[in-house]
Amino acid sequence: MFYREVGQFKTTYAADQAIFPIRQDRIGLAIILFAAFVLIPLLGGEFLIASVMIPFLVLALAAIGLNVLIGYTGLISLGTAAFMGVGAYACYKLSTIFPQVNVLVWIVASGFVSSAVGVVFGLPSLRIKGFYLAIATLAAQFFLQWCFVRIGWLYNHNPSGAIEVPGHTLFGIPVTGPQATPITRYYVVLVIVVVMTWFASNLVHGRIGRSWMAVRDMDIAAQLMGIKLLPAKLLAFAVSSFYAGVAGALMVFMWLGAAEPEAFNINQSFILLFMVIIGGLGSLIGSFLGAALIHVLPIIVRFLPDALGVPVGAATVEHLTFVITGALILFFLVVEPHGLAQLWRIAKQKLRVWPFPY
Amino acid sequence: MKDDILLAVRNVSLSFGGVRAITDVSFDIRKGEIRAIIGPNGAGKTSMLNVINGFYHPQEGEILFHGRARRRMKPYEAASQGIARTFQNVALFKGMSTLDNILAGRTLKMHRGFFWQTLRHGPALAEEIEHRKFCEEIIDFLEIEHIRKAPVGSLPYGLQKRVELGRALAMEPTLLLLDEPMAGMNLEEKQDMSRFIIDVNQQYGTTIALIEHDIGVVMDLSDRIVVLEYGHKIADGVPDAVKNDQKVIDAYLGVAH
């Protein structure tokens, strides 16, 4: 009824090649952006912004990076957290060596450092595929994490072994460190995530995205189209690690404020992998939905008994959260193995033809 | 006018370990002709195509394309020289739409770099739309307008074959290799496909080399036929000559010992 493209005639190929060809989708996107930029900072409390929205956006950004690799190019990686770590440590080193330079510059620069490391660990992908590649990327995970623990230079020989974010200002407003307000940090993260999501969406809808998907679906035929496998795969690793690196830098600088090597362990890699699989392989919306399901859902479950006035002990809630989240993940995977993004597509299709079945 | 040789295969031998797939085969493909490669199963026809577009490297012999010899090359080099190909078992990009598959065939013609691709405005978008126009001509030509946005994995087999032909045509090839374009099709689909092959040959002037088991189709379509058996060439010539060749009849029908 509300979601119908009848009467929206496209008269140019430009209109038809647009990323959101349907008007309702563009309106929906505008509403989401309005909510993110205006409503949430205005109405949301500190908890919502600092503990829900910032982590959600950071994880979604890392999930987009992983999705470029797994969902679009078909290369399984278990080293995402390590690449996030590279970004975080690079940003920390750069911003402590050159504290006078704007920290945003270093956040982007740390993405490039992570990108370079990702390309090195992506080299085996020409020869090995599937599960074997996943094991090869595990090497990146363990090796890089070992570096974070053993190389004192990386954390400036801090006796605690952690990296602590110094205070930085942007146009006189503190953006990192204890003085920065959650709203400022939220805006910085939001702008970076929106811009990078836009870049990613442009990439995957153009020539480069098509060559990634060609490599994913049928690499022999892709070669015959003139696509060189190694550059295409390494570019996917570079872009993916760039996103992971920026997400890692944001995670430490804008969300946690300090981090130990353990923050970038294999658990984190797996959580990101779950987000991508549950959200939907090869879908940017899926990356957001996956991050929301895995990060936001447990928070909602934790607060639900209180909100409903059901008296449940704190420890019980903690356990229940795991049980319910796990059950919901299973439920979604059984209902739609192609992820939440596919559910979203089906829902849109149903809406288009509503009230008729097809 | 049809005497210029586009591609010449000279004394090519190919073996995998102890198995000889192709033994000392020579033939040529002239510009603008439809050349058929036929033979019983296991004769080395697909291996021959794989040699031509660079998947296999022959141990002996050489291949001349546009008169220049080449020994080892990568498939993407063959693609950039203008050799396109379809596969016996459809090798489409299953997760993509028909349009995206055909656009993927334009990859080599698109040059805007990473920077513009991330912006998808200005030159990158203009390029995208220009190639979309070209792909629409192919879609129009192959009569697949109605499945433009459909994911190819869900299409029936006959249409998938047609999309694959479209993807190869998007490369604007000088030499088009078709590996059993009519395998598994019914009569009507075969007629459609034959029409497309003739149209491609006549409208675009594309040279075509095809492998096909349907002898009737081969006799009607092709200008010249080369017959392989157990990796050896046993006949080469115009359809009528090949049809009456005793060796070919023996190869297909068997011979009394």
Look at residues B143, B141, B136 and name the one whose alpha carbon lies nearest to residue A10.
Answer: B136
Residue A323 above 70 pLDDT? Answer: yes
Residue A132 above 70 pLDDT? Answer: yes
Per the domain annotation, does A48 fall within a domain? yes
Contact check, Cβ <8 Å, B117/A203: yes
Per the domain annotation, does A9 fall within a domain? no
User: What is the three-state SS of chain B?
Assistant: CCCCEEEEEEEEEEEECCEEEEEEEEEEEECCCEEEEECCCCCCHHHHHHHHCCCCCCCEEEEEECCEEECCCCHHHHHHHCEEEECCCCCCCCCCEHHHHHHHCCHHHCCCCHHHHHHCCCHHHHHHHHHHHHHHHHHHHHCCHHHCCCEHHHCCHHHHHHHHHHHHHHCCCCEEEEECCCCCCCHHHHHHHHHHHHHHHHHCCCEEEEECCCHHHHHHHCCEEEEEECCEEEEEECHHHHHCCHHHHHHHHCCCC
Number of folded domains that form chain A: 1
Q: How far is A321 from chain B (nearest CA, A)?
A: 36
Per the domain annotation, does A15 fall within a domain? no
Residues in chain A closer than 8 A to B104 (CB atoms): 210-211, 213-214, 222, 225
Look at residues B57, B54, B60 and name the one whose alpha carbon lies nearest to residue B74.
Answer: B54
pLDDT of A231-281, one tens digit each? 999 999 999 999 999 999 999 999 998 889 999 999 999 999 999 999 999
H-helix or E-strand spanning residue A259: strand A258-259
Contact check, Cβ <8 Å, B107/A224: no
Task: Give the confidence band of B1 by pLDDT, cuts at 50, 70, 90.
Answer: very low
φ, ψ (nearest 5 deg) of residue B43: -80, -15
What range does the domain containing A128 cover? Answer: 22-353
CATH number of the domain where residue A242 is located: 1.10.3470
Task: Give the confidence band of A161 by pLDDT, cuts at 50, 70, 90.
Answer: confident
Give the chain B residue whose CA is nearest to the CA of A12: B129
Residue B49 above 60 pLDDT? Answer: yes
- Token duo for residue A325: 């989240």
Q: How far is CA B163 from CA A209, B35, B141, B168, in A?
A: 20, 22, 11, 9
More confident position, B2 or A223: A223
Per the domain annotation, does A336 fall within a domain? yes
| Residue of B95, B118, B167 lying closest to A203 (CB–CB) | B118
Per the domain annotation, does A81 fall within a domain? yes
* CB-based contact B86:B177 (threshold 8 Å): yes
- Write down the pLDDT at residue A1: 59
**For a pLDDT cut of 90, what percent of chain B falls above it?**
59
CA distance B197 to B234: 26
| Residue of A13, A202, A226 lying closest to B79 (CB–CB) | A226
Residue B2 above 60 pLDDT? Answer: no
Residue A124 above 50 pLDDT? Answer: yes
| Residue of A203, A226, A282 lying closest to B80 (CB–CB) | A226
- Token duo for residue B155: 């299409």
pLDDT of A334-347, one tens digit each? 888 888 998 888 88
Task: Give the confidence band of B252 by pLDDT, cuts at 50, 70, 90.
Answer: confident
Residues in chain B closer than 8 A to A208 (CB atoms): 114, 117
Instruction: Assess whether the previous peptide bond of A21 is cis (omega < 30° from 0).
Output: no
φ, ψ (nearest 5 deg) of residue A102: -55, 130
Per the domain annotation, does A7 fall within a domain? no
pLDDT of B206-220, one tens digit each? 999 999 988 889 999
Q: Average pLDDT over chain B, rounded to whole?
A: 90
Q: How far is B248 from chain A (nearest CA, A)?
A: 32
Give the chain A residue whose CA is nearest to the CA of B169: A225
Note the Cα B67 to chain centre separation in Å: 20
Q: Quick one: DSSP state of residue A357?
A: -
Any idea how long chain A is?
358
Residues in chain B closer than 8 A to A216 (CB atoms): 93, 95
- Token duo for residue B222: 């092709």
Chain A residues with at least one Cβ partner in B under 8 Å: 12-14, 16-17, 19, 199, 202-203, 205-208, 210-211, 213-214, 216-218, 220-228, 235, 282
Q: Which of A8-12, A95-99, A235-239, B251-255 has the highest mean pLDDT?
A: A235-239
Q: Average pLDDT over chain A, rounded to whole?
A: 89
Q: pTM here?
A: 0.91
Per the domain annotation, does A12 fall within a domain? no
pLDDT of B150-193, one tens digit each? 999 999 998 999 999 999 999 999 999 999 999 888 999 999 99
Give the count of alpha carbons within 13 A of A116, CB side only.
6
Contact check, Cβ <8 Å, A213/B96: yes
Q: How far is CA B10 from CA B72, B179, B183, in A?
A: 14, 21, 29
More confident position, B36 or A301: B36
**Range A157-183 average pLDDT:** 81
pLDDT of A4-54, one tens digit each? 777 778 888 888 888 888 888 889 999 999 999 999 999 888 889 988 999
**Range A70-90 average pLDDT:** 94
φ, ψ (nearest 5 deg) of residue B173: -75, 155
Q: How far is A219 from chain B (nearest CA, A)?
A: 9
CA distance B80 to A228: 11
Which stretch of B70-79, B107-116, B152-161, B194-203 has the lowest confidence by average pLDDT? B70-79
| Residue of B94, B105, B129 lying closest to A217 (CB–CB) | B94
Look at residues A94, A115, A118, A96 and name the one whose alpha carbon lies nearest to residue A106.
Answer: A94
pLDDT of B104-154, one tens digit each? 999 988 888 888 888 888 888 999 999 999 999 999 999 999 999 999 999
At which residue do the structure tokens 């795969």 appear?
A233
H-helix or E-strand spanning residue A260: none
Give the chain A residue whose CA is nearest to the CA of B126: A14
CA distance B238 to B252: 18
